[in-house]
A and B are shown apart, each in its own frame.
Chain A
Amino acid sequence: MPSSDKKRLDYYALTWRLPVIVWQVLFFVGPLVFMIAMSFFLVKNYRMTEAFEMKNWVKMFGKDYFWDSYFLTLLLASMSTIVATCLAFPAAYGLAFKVSGNVRRWIVFLLIIPFFTSYLVRTFSWYVILAESGVVNNILGVIGLGPYTMLNTRFGTLVGYMTLTLPLVVILQTFSLANVDKNLIEAAQNLGASRVKVILQVIIPSAKVGLIIGAVFCFILSFGDFVAPYYLGGSKPPTLPILIIDTTKSGQQWPRAAVVAVMMMVTLMIVAFTAIKLAYSRKAYR
């Protein structure tokens, strides 16, 4: 190929690459970098002025309510991750090993539907279902139980988180379990391993990466969600996302909200990197 052609081709390839780079830098990297910078700005007379001061960081780190929110959010997101991972596993196991590929595709398609229905409306529905005089307590009342208080509790928050994350975790786990080498499982069975042993020592270690990725996504989604802890959990104390909203919307304290957001991002990065390291560590087989 003549070099002028090669050059033209390079330019052609570049025309397809550039729009994405420009767009993402302008509207994705730009906002995030600006937000980090903003955490050092000052607010004077209700107006934000550009500066480089540690004031917001010192202020937020010195507040008990910030740390209360921080550890509550960590705790709730961790609970959500553990519960979703455990609840999803039997379903994903069934889908991966006990049904045909065709049935699996249809069920996964059904599992995608919730992503496209308003999460807000589904949360409102849970509010109705779990209320003191709601559907669940009505049914329990028939057999003489309850009423139980489920709203404004951690249980309520977790129900909300599960609404958001469970379908995704089931899908990701199903894909990773379906990719486990069937010969490996058969070999273990032929060698006389019990069902439980096969699951614990063959299937879970082989599907580890996918299972952990599902857990990480669950953690990220729960950690960043403000709807479940606000409407179903009662928001006392608020979680970090609610803190961001309160600080931004009513307080007009954008720089302090930025501090909270940066802290969230740092936490998520640590969690994600630790998890990825765990996923790819080799010490699975005994």
Chain B
Amino acid sequence: MRADKLIRWFLWGYLGLVFLFIFAPIVTSIIFSFNSDRFPTIPLGSFTWKWYQTIYNDPDVWDAAKTSVIVALSTSCLATFIGFCTAYTDFRYQFKGKNSYLVLALLPPTIPLIILALAMLAWFSKIGLSGQVWSIVIAHTVLCAPFAMAVIRLRLQQMDPDLESAAWNLGASEWSAMRYVIVPFAMPAIVSSMCLTMAVSFDEFAVAWFVSGLNKTIPVIILEILQGNIDPQINAIGTFVFVTSITLVILAQLIFMLRTPGSASNA
């Protein structure tokens, strides 16, 4: 039918516009990161590495990168552990108060970051934890754990729930069943959850800005440059962060997709 075809074309065109809107700012920032003009206008100036050189020679950026990497790595381990505990508990056990338990574990993403930022800033200074690298790690772990839980829970879903009891009945202790049955099965999800939470932590600015004190992360540096003047350095740092995060996300996705189908074979 002609009308059907017309609608199909309209929907594809519309989807194209949505993608244009979503990717325009990402592409723009990459393009302008190589543009020689200080003020980003059209027509473009000439090709340059100058903004990358500026950030490469900036010790503050290096310090921030170091902090960011430490925070992201620690967060990914802690958040994945917490997420694994939640996912495994939800998958295997029924108990009184399970719903409240899950609400407690999964609620953080529904609270605006700015509120969590203020609450954590105040709480950390109350318990004597403020302004340290660890404060950012703890805060980011709270934010990231629900995502880790979701990824690992999705993977456990594909496992036969009786597999663990079978191992127990065959004489494996609980801990060795965990080590030789559950963890190997969940491994692809564990790895992709680590990549994912690392990417989230690497990008988060609101909470980090409030609790970091003098230990700035890369996004906090971006925020501070943004508060000053127009500075194409942002595009260079942004492109660098973009490439890092995208690599992590694609890695997470690939590991999860490659290992997930045919689940029995790699159990």
A70 within 8 A of B: no
Chain B residues near A138 (CB-CB < 8 A): 41-42
Q: Which of B82, B111, B222 contacts A118 (CB 8 A)?
A: B222
Q: A32-B119, A241-B114 are in contact. Are A120 and B105 (CB under 8 A)?
A: no
Name the interface size band of chain B.
35 or more
Chain A residues near B11 (CB-CB < 8 A): 90-91, 93-94, 98
Q: Which of A123, A124, A261 contacts B119 (CB 8 A)?
A: A261
Closest to B106 in A: A24
Are B249 and A124 touching (Cβ within 8 A)? no
Chain A residues near B92 (CB-CB < 8 A): 13
B15 within 8 A of A: yes
| Closest beta carbon of chain B to A15's beta carbon, Å | 9
Are A120 and B205 touching (Cβ within 8 A)? yes
B115 within 8 A of A: yes
Are B242 and A98 touching (Cβ within 8 A)? no
Question: Which secondary structure dominates chain B's binding surface?
Answer: helix
Q: Which of A117, A135, A225, A261 contacts B242 (CB 8 A)?
A: A117
A156 within 8 A of B: no
Question: Which secondary structure dominates chain A's binding surface?
Answer: helix
Are A17 and B115 touching (Cβ within 8 A)? no
Chain A residues near B19 (CB-CB < 8 A): 110
B261 within 8 A of A: no
In the complex, A112→B19 CA distance in Å? 12
Are B116 and A31 touching (Cβ within 8 A)? yes
Are B235 and A121 touching (Cβ within 8 A)? yes
B156 within 8 A of A: no
Please encode chain A, from 258 to 282, with 1 for each CB lying within 8 Å of some chain B CB and 0 for all others: 1001001100100010000000000
Are A91 and B25 touching (Cβ within 8 A)? no
| Closest beta carbon of chain B to A139's beta carbon, Å | 8
Are B25 and A126 touching (Cβ within 8 A)? yes
Closest to B199 in A: A116
Are A261 and B226 touching (Cβ within 8 A)? no
Q: Which of A55-63, A163-171, A179-187, A204-212 contacts B (4 or more CB under 8 A)?
A: A163-171
Binding site for A on B (CB under 8 A): 7-8, 11-12, 14-15, 18-19, 21-26, 28-29, 32, 39-42, 81-82, 85-86, 88-89, 92-93, 95, 101, 104-105, 107-108, 110-116, 118-124, 126, 138-139, 141-142, 145, 174, 199-200, 203, 205-206, 210, 219, 222-223, 226, 230, 234-235, 237-238, 241-242, 245-246, 248-249, 253
28 pairs across A/B with beta carbons < 8 Å? A12-B174, A17-B95, A17-B101, A19-B82, A20-B89, A21-B104, A23-B142, A29-B104, A91-B15, A110-B19, A113-B246, A116-B246, A117-B238, A118-B205, A119-B205, A120-B223, A120-B234, A121-B238, A125-B29, A128-B28, A128-B230, A134-B40, A138-B42, A224-B115, A241-B112, A244-B114, A258-B118, A258-B122
